[in-house]
Structure 1
Amino acid sequence: MPSPYQGKAPTQWPAVTQELIKDHPLQLSELREVVLEAWDSIFASKMGTKGFHIGTDILPKPQIMGFLLHELIPLELASRYPNEWRGEESASDKDIVYVPNASYSIEVKTSSDPKHIFGNRSYAQATTKGKKAKSGYYLAINFEKFAALRRDPKILLIRFGWLDSDDWVGQRAATGQQARLPPEVEQGKLFELYRKS
């Protein structure tokens, strides 16, 4: 599928993004609500026979908090719309699958960086057969990490939009394991749904 931004200057990207978002079956207000509910669910859950709580007894690393969001957001959508949304089941699935039309499926990216999201190095490489497509809708979530004086970290930023596989820039070093987005891509292709005040 050709990029919806093909032939468009970066100054035109926000308008294209708005059209892509308008075409998506999820309302932005509900998407924002689902993310914030998933975050709250992490802290409301009890773990183990002693009922340990995240934020009180357990202070997970950002990777674990990101993993929990990746799991809970699709579950929350599936509980609301069981015939429309589900989580990833195969290597070719996005993180959140729209059953009626996979082109509306969503990849989730989380980061404890205050404003940027990152992919692993493979995001800056061509998609291999049988793996998920790297172009499509993205839900980008930035959150605070636990610290000595912060036991109730918050969601900082939620954005939604469309990214193309060639938007990702891999690290130059051969050992680099990260891919990033140029500023004009984050600004033009990801629409802000929420920012912590």
Structure 2
Amino acid sequence: MNSPYSGLSVSEWLRVTQEIVERHPLSAEEIVDAVLASWESILDSRLGTKGFRIGKDIFPKPQIMGFLLHELIPLELAAKHPNNWRGDTSSSDKDLVYIPDDSFSIEVKTSSDPKHIYGNRSYAQGASKGKKGKSGYYLAVNFEKFSDTRNSSIRLIRFGWIDSNDWIGQKAATGQQSRLSSDVENYKLLQLYRKI
């Protein structure tokens, strides 16, 4: 996928991000609603024969909450727009697939960090044959972990475009994480929601 930021200076990134977010088939309001509805679904769900509830009886680690968001956000949007959106069905799909035009498909990243998102090491290595591309639209969701508060909630929702070469791998050979520079997080992801 060609980068919309190709040849542009950092000072021009925010303008481009605003334009490509505006062009996206999902509105900012729909994205925020889907994320918040997914979070509420997690907290409203009952588990087991005793009806145990997440956030009341069970306090999952951030990886589990991230997994649940990762699964529910595509389901929320596919339920609302069944002819246009679906979750991934193959390793080459983004997390949320726009059926009419794959260039609008979205990768979902979640984190319990207050403001940063991370990828695994492979994000800093580009795409392998048959695997999904690392460039494109990204939905970044930051949430509170239960160890911070018993009333965990969504902290921050951002949306925009990240290029594969924006991911910075850890220097250590054993490092398993990749991150984004502050310029990328500040100018390539638009803030759609912040917890007050």
Give the TM-score, by structure 1 length: 0.98
Q: Is the 8 A contact 2:168 2:180 kept in 1?
A: yes
Report the 3-state secondary structure (helix = DSSP H, G, I; strand = E; otherwise coil) of the residue aligned with 2:187. helix
Report the 3-state secondary structure (helix = DSSP H, G, I; strand = E; otherwise coil) of the residue aligned with 2:123. helix
Correspondence for 2:181: 182
Correspondence for 1:193: 192
How far apart in 2 are the matches of 1:177 and 1:37?
A: 31
How far apart in 1 are the matches of 2:41 and 2:9?
A: 41
Correspondence for 1:166: 165
Q: Is the 8 A contact 2:126 2:133 kept in 1?
A: no
Report the 3-state secondary structure (helix = DSSP H, G, I; strand = E; otherwise coil) of the residue aligned with 2:14. helix
* Superposed structure 1 runs of 4+ greater than 6 Å apart: none
How far apart in 2 are the matches of 1:65 and 1:132?
A: 23
1:104-159 CA distances to partner (integer Å, 9 max, x unpaired)?
A: 00000000000000000000002101000000000000010002x72220111000
How far apart in 1 are the matches of 2:169 and 2:44?
A: 37
Correspondence for 1:154: 153
Count the aligned residue pairs: 196
* Residue correspondence of structure 1 range 1-197 to structure 2 within 5 A: 1-147=1-147, 150-197=149-196
Shift of 1:89: 0.5
Question: Where does structure 2 lack aligned partners over 5 or more consecutive residues?
Answer: none
Q: Equivalent pairs: percent with the same residue? A: 65
Q: Is the 8 A contact 2:117 2:179 kept in 1?
A: yes
**What is the root-mean-square deviation of aligned Cα atoms in Å?**
0.8
Shift of 1:30: 1.0
